[in-house]
């Protein structure tokens, strides 16, 4: 195919995607506000009712920035309100759709439309096909495992990595529970490639990690929602189940787990982004993941759930402001992790309990793994960035995010090995 035909084909693909991507965010803006006093926090929490804004980063503490998505119809009244109440603010993104369009052009400028590219974002079909091919090329070190199906029938596929050996401790990583957080699945794929790609000569750290642990990585915990972000609504968060008679679909999979499910901090309104579902494990995705984890629990030593954004290393609990009994141990190893990341790349991750650093989030996966399965080192990671791009992080940041998390898991793994040797 000559060069002109290639360009024409790429343009046609982009036009097709633009046509199928029906939810348009033209004129929608991201406003960042800084609460400087307690009254500001109260005013910000009331904004969704007054101006129909949607929080990307919720009000939590004085001097912590708050990110709000607002429609063009409500932008003027929101800005007037912020000015009248002396709230500092900036408009980080004046037009979200333009950012989405730039993201798509960036992806398709570097994509082979039939094969996965580790350096960019990829569709559900490309990810699943790549995992199967990767496992075959990897040989006995790797295995793909279908652990269940989604609401719409898509496979939930885990890849197992590690030198063949029974009864090794297990490290689990999942990503993509929230559909719009594309950097999370991309980072998980980067880690799979780093650990198991036979075309890369493994360095001593990779050999060590594969020898000491069995790894299970689930890049797409919410495949329906992820696919929907590619075809219809780039900023969709939930899965795609239908539990109401109105047009509001989806359940927040990270509020659907059977540990303090339904506690304050979630919603029983199907239209809300943190809708918890009709019951704990009402969703096939969370149910399948938990069932598989239950079967690993006797050897599971580290659980990581990758999300975005904000750069946080979060410990349980999410359901309460109280801290787990071993919180000091979690913070001690967390300090090693965030220091190692900072030393490697300069990125700074804030460390602490999710309820205290962000907000209450009962029914979460990390709380379930710690509270029900008894896994000590259970963490949620909010990946890059700190707010410049939010959920639309450009593909050029994938490698850096992947290297940050490789540094993190290497540090965690060394800690667990040393702890085991000290306390056999």
Phi, psi of 108 (to 5 degrees): -80, -10
Cβ burial, residue 205 (10 Å; 0-12/13-18/19+): middle
Contact yes or no for 106/212 (Cβ under 8 A): no
In the residue annotation, 382 being an active-site residue is answered as: yes
Phi, psi of 291 (to 5 degrees): -60, -45
- How far apart CA 199 and CA 3 sit, in angstroms, is 29
Phi, psi of 239 (to 5 degrees): -80, -165
Phi, psi of 172 (to 5 degrees): -115, 135
Rg (CA), the chain: 21
Contact yes or no for 201/150 (Cβ under 8 A): no
Nearest Cα residue to 382 out of 352, 419, 340: 352
Phi, psi of 314 (to 5 degrees): -110, 135
Query: Number of C-alpha atoms within 13 angstroms, CB side, residue 244?
Result: 15
- How far apart CA 258 and CA 367 sit, in angstroms, is 9
Could you say which of 283, 285, 382, 403 is catalytic?
A: 382
Q: Which residues pair with 215 in a beta bridge?
A: 161, 171
Query: Furthest-apart CA pair in the chain: how many Å?
Result: 65
End-to-end CA distance of the chain: 62
- Catalytic residue positions? 382
């Amino acid at each position: 195919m000559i060069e002109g035909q290639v360009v024409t084909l790429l343009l046609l693909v982009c036009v097709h995607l633009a046509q199928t991507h029906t939810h348009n965010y033209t004129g929608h803006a991201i406003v960042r506000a800084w609460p400087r006093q307690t009254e500001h926090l109260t005013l910000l929490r009331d904004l969704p009712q007054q101006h129909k804004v949607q929080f990307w980063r919720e009000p939590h503490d004085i001097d912590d920035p708050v990110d709000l998505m607002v429609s063009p119809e409500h932008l003027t009244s929101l800005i007037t309100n912020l000015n009248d109440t002396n709230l500092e603010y900036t408009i980080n993104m004046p037009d979200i759709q333009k950012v989405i369009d730039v993201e798509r052009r960036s992806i398709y400028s570097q994509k082979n439309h039939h094969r996965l590219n580790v350096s960019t974002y990829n569709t559900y079909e490309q990810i699943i096909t790549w995992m199967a091919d990767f496992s075959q090329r990897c040989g006995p070190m790797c295995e793909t495992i279908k652990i269940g199906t989604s609401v719409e029938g898509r496979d939930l596929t885990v890849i197992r990595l590690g030198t063949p050996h029974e009864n090794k401790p297990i490290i689990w990583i999942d990503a993509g529970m929230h559909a719009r957080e594309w950097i999370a699945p991309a980072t998980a794929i980067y880690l799979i490639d780093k650990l198991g790609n036979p075309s890369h000569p493994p360095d001593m750290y990779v050999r060590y990690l594969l020898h000491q642990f069995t790894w299970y990585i689930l890049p797409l915990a919410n495949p329906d929602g992820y696919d929907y972000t590619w075809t219809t609504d780039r900023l969709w968060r939930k899965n795609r189940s239908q539990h109401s008679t109105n047009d509001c679909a989806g359940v927040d999979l990270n509020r659907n787990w059977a540990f303090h499910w339904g506690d304050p901090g979630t919603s029983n309104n199907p239209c809300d982004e943190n809708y918890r579902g009709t019951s704990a494990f009402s969703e096939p995705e969370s149910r399948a993941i938990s069932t598989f984890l239950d079967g690993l629990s006797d050897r599971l030593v580290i659980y990581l759930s990758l999300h975005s954004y904000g750069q946080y290393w979060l410990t349980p609990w999410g359901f309460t402001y109280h801290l787990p009994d071993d919180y000091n141990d979690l913070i001690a190893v967390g300090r090693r992790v965030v220091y190692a990341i900072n030393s490697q790349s300069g990125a700074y991750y804030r460390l602490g309990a999710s309820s205290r650093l962000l907000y209450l989030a009962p029914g979460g996966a990390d709380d379930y793994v710690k509270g029900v399965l008894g896994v000590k080192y259970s963490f949620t990671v909010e990946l890059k960035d700190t707010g410049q791009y939010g959920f639309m992080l450009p593909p050029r940041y994938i490698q850096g995010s992947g290297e940050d998390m490789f540094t993190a898991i290497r540090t965690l793994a060394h800690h667990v090995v040393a702890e085991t040797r000290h306390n056999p």
